[in-house]
Structure 1
Amino acid sequence: MLKFFVVTGIGLALLNGWIIWWLWRALEHTGWLRPMLCLVVAVLGVSFPLLYKLGGDSAIEVWLLRAGSFWLGMLFYVFMLVLIMDIWGLASRLWAEPPVAPRWGGALLVMGLPLVIGCASWFNAANPIVREYDLTISTNDPVPQTYAQSPLILGVLADMHLGRIITAPRLVRAMDLLAPYKPDAVLYIGDIIDDHILVDVEGMAAALARVEPRLGHWVVPGNHEYISGSIKDSLDILRHSGMQVLRDQWRILDNAFVLVGRDDMSRHAFEGTPRKSLPEILADIPHAHRNLPIFVMDHQPSMLDEARTAGAVLELSGHTHFGQLWPFHWVVESMYENPMGLLIKNGLHSVVSPGVGTWGPPMRNTSRAEVLIVKVHFTQTAQ
């Protein structure tokens, strides 16, 4: 983890340094504007990584953290425009044409276009939608009378990342989107909290109280429940808000299905012990319930083959954010069999949500922020 932060820090320093150097050249003869804009970029460039890691909680530190996170979302686009302009200038020299020096109009483009993209991406991230999936699941047991005429309705939230950047009102908005559907259960697929600093547990509890699913609120840890601090403290926050934690555990719900909650794959890196395999988790299910459909909550959609082999019919995941910002969705697509949406393969329905929140930049442009309504129709397997 330390190596990751060091490499990331060096990379951010190089990108921000290049941009500052370009702006210094572009804004020649602009008086105080040149040092002022370069100073702003330098401050924003260090604000997010330093304050996120150091955990500042004063009002000015929180607002600097948020401003730095917004700049982080713009950084790639600003750097790409700067790079294009420098390549253009180099090409002019190679073709023996008069060198093309950066100008303030170019600086306006370099900063203005990413700002427009950033604002649109922020609006997209801050206004989640409801995405619905209708699934048909076969069961060897008779279909429970509860679901003979109407489906099981699951509300699903992933990757809320509550903390200093995204606060409890975003959770209120998400619950208000779910409430009209009257879900039987609400499932939280990890990364619900981003850090322990200024987390409003009472606000979270009030948000959850806006939806009263008869089968309860259930949560599994994600990697940020580990990154944010002690996993015990993270799980205590979730429990105190009204969620029931499943950490390599299962529960029989409504005598209709087995709900399995997996610990996150990052457990080994933080605690030195691996999570249980899915067969190990399922080993002590009573014989009378062995034929019930198995629904798996697993934050990272990295073990779909294990879920298929274990006989799971539904796996709900998040984590990918579908890259969150262009073009990083291409990286995610290369990493996961199902980076977003619904994939049905060999009897397993894999549903991956890009999440209702964001990490780092409070913006997204590769997908919509979303909460899920998953309607499960049970049919009895022909004997």
Structure 2
Amino acid sequence: MATTEAVPVERRRSLLRPVVFALTLTTVLALLFGVPWWSLVLSGNAWPVGVQIGGTVVFAGAAVAFPVLMMLGHGRRHLDGASRIADTTLGVVWQLFVWAVAGDVLRLGLLSGGVADPLRSRIVAAFTFVLAAGLLLWGYAEAMRIPRVRRVEVRIPRLGAGLDGLKVVMLTDTHYGPIDRARWSKGVTEVVNTLDADIVAHTGDIADGTVAQRTAQSAPLGDVRARYARVYVTGNHEYYGEAEGWLQRMGDLGWEALHNRHLVVERGGDRLVVAGVDDRTAAGTGLQGHRADHATALAGADPDLPVLLLAHQPKQVDDAVTHGIDLQLSGHTHGGQMWPFHYLVRLDQPVVQGLTRHGARTQLYTSRGTGFWGPPFRIFAPSEITELTLRTA
């Protein structure tokens, strides 16, 4: 009897899912595009009718086109032109939304000060537009520049004296994508090679798209130099495209893919285990042998040796603590990428950026990312190439 009743219940749930999704999407789009439309075009601005009609057409057209372009660009077809337009639209409307909301606070202040419409609403509209436009221009320049080097010292009590000063250079979230950044990629490699790294690590999200689409952009990774090892683990975006293809591509470029495995680096008579696990989303993709498996990654490693672990997402640190990892390197968060998005990132991840301690032994370094995803803007979240110097206690 219970089984018979469960079938229609599950059927009703499956029918409700697309309805709930459609309502959620409509609500989000209405707010995202509607709030700045009201602030810039309508409210109490008293713009000429032609301006109001033109502004309404622009916002309404963008709101309708945006989800379609996102599906064409980031769906199965991977149309780069659609991605570029959709991603840029997302960045622009996000900043307009943020500063339109902030403008409403200003509106209240002006109202209490006795400033009447249309002047009050026009001041708010100017505030919203000027701040959003200025930050978008600056954010675009930040996204497109070669990242600055961020230098961090990490003290690891179990690290042997022979490994004191070992230099690990970290790349992550390069996100080679619809905007051709082959020259940028070459510039990143040139900077890395000036750092005289012992180990270079890439903690995933190499690209958005297939290996064939991003061959030219990823090619400079083959020129990266490291004294002992170049190591890589998958991020969640590899599993949106072709994870096996990117593992093969990195192997062809001379990198060690730490696909739930480890290697040992030795210097001055002391050794360091360098391990890697798949992204936490890998298990849900159905790919055979893909999942975050710390036990397999550390199988055969001497438990008395310190362990440097590559794991794409900061939230994988709980498993790192369980397995006695000394230092985990992660990316994924982009430091929020576009303020104030980092508040939303913090709801999903334990850390947004920087060096943090978890448990008695484990430390976690979370990079803001080397590239960017989607909107070609970085606002109050600069990209980085990270130079980590490991020190004994």
For the criterion TM > 0.5, the same-fold answer is yes
TM-score after normalising by structure 1: 0.80
C-alpha separation between the residues in 2 aligned to 1:57 and 1:331? Answer: 26
SS class of match (2:194): helix
Which string of whole-angstrom CA distances, capped at 9 and with x for unpartnered residues, describes residues 235-288 of structure 1?
344444543322222222347221111111112332288834423432x315xx
Aligned residue type for 1:246: L
CA contact (8 A) 1:23 1:38 kept: no
Matches within 5 A, 1:4-15: 7-8=24-25, 10-15=27-32
Deviation at 1:315, TM superposition (A): 0.6
* Equivalence for 1:264: 279
From 323, 348, 363, the counterpart of 1:349: 363
From 67, 74, 86, the counterpart of 2:95: 74
C-alpha separation between the residues in 2 aligned to 1:4 and 1:221? Answer: 29
From 295, 318, 335, the counterpart of 1:279: 295
CA contact (8 A) 1:201 1:240 kept: no
TM-score after normalising by structure 2: 0.78
* Equivalence for 1:35: 53
Matches within 5 A, 1:106-145: 106-127=124-145, 128-139=147-158, 143-144=161-162
Point out which structure has higher relative CO (alpha carbons under 8 A, 6+ apart).
Answer: 1
Deviation at 1:349, TM superposition (A): 2.4
From 295, 306, 309, the counterpart of 2:319: 306
From 242, 245, 249, the counterpart of 2:257: 245
Distance 1:230 1:210, change over 3 A: closer
Aligned residue type for 1:134: E
CA contact (8 A) 1:46 1:68 kept: no
Deviation at 1:222, TM superposition (A): 1.2
Aligned residue type for 2:310: M
C-alpha separation between the residues in 1 aligned to 2:193 and 2:115? Answer: 65
Unaligned runs of 5+ in 1: none
SS class of match (1:303): helix
Percent identical pairs in the alignment equals 25
CA contact (8 A) 1:9 1:49 kept: no
SS class of match (1:351): strand
C-alpha separation between the residues in 1 aligned to 2:63 and 2:108? Answer: 23
Unaligned runs of 5+ in 2: 1-16
Q: Does 2:226 correspond to 1:213?
A: yes
Q: Does 2:334 correspond to 1:321?
A: yes
Aligned residue type for 1:243: W
Distance 1:178 1:276, change over 3 A: closer
C-alpha separation between the residues in 2 aligned to 1:360 and 1:4? Answer: 22
* Equivalence for 1:20: 37
Aligned residue type for 2:95: M
Which string of whole-angstrom CA distances, capped at 9 and with x for unpartnered residues, describes residues 332-371 of structure 1?
4455443311124522221111112222322223332111
Deviation at 1:197, TM superposition (A): 8.6
C-alpha separation between the residues in 2 aligned to 1:338 and 1:57? Answer: 31
SS class of match (2:168): strand
